[in-house]
């Protein structure tokens, strides 16, 4: 049996197995601190998590791997991929997702019974001859197959 910890032992809140990190400026937990360095640090880490997710998805899709760990850190260093990639995360991309969701909902509502075709969102702004195609990464294989890619070799 272990001896009880002394009274007043520092910061013994229930942490559910995680170590809580405190801001040196405000002495609040960094997860809820609103000072500039904590907010920027959370944004930086979130951006890099999204970059890692996208890079791993493209590596699985193309069958390539980064030649060394330093190439994984930033999308400007992803020379092993056959395409250039720029990853955005957070509120700045919320409008893109909202527009895609509206397009998908409208298409689903107008879809005839039994129509199993995949959805691709197209956005064509005024005064531009080009347009954007938007698809869900989780549905990429089905869209590629529907467009005629990967029919023989699978995915």
Can you give the residue ranges of every domain in the chain?
17-87, 90-155
| 88, two tokens | 């955005």
Whether 142 contacts 118, CB under 8 Å: yes
Give residue-wise pLDDT tens across range 71-119.
Answer: 887 888 888 888 888 888 888 889 999 999 999 999 999 989 998 889 9
Compute the C-alpha angle 115/121/137, nearest 5°.
90
Residues 6+ apart with CB under 8 A from 11: 20, 22
Q: Is residue 64's pLDDT more than 60?
A: yes
Element (H, E) at 50: helix 36-62
CA distance 59 to 81: 7
The confidence score (pLDDT) of residue 87 equals: 87
Beta strands in the chain (DSSP E): 121-123, 132-134
- Does this model's pTM top 0.85? My answer is no
The confidence score (pLDDT) of residue 2 equals: 61
Q: Is residue 15's pLDDT more than 60?
A: no
The confidence score (pLDDT) of residue 146 equals: 85
């Amino acid at each position: 049996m272990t001896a009880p910890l002394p009274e007043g032992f520092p910061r013994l809140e229930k942490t559910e197995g995680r170590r809580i990190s405190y801001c040196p400026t405000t002495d609040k937990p960094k997860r809820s601190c609103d000072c500039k360095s904590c907010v920027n640090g959370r944004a930086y880490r979130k951006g890099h998590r999204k970059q890692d997710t996208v890079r791993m998805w493209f590596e699985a899709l193309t069958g390539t791997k980064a030649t060394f760990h330093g190439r994984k850190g930033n999308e400007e260093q992803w020379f092993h991929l056959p395409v250039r990639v720029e990853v955005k995360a957070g509120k700045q991309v919320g409008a893109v997702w909202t527009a895609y969701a509206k397009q998908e909902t409208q298409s689903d509502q107008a879809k005839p019974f039994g129509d199993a075709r995949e959805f691709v969102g197209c956005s064509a702004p005024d005064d531009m001859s080009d347009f954007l195609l938007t698809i869900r990464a989780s549905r990429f294989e089905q869209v590629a197959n529907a467009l005629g890619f990967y029919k023989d070799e699978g995915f």
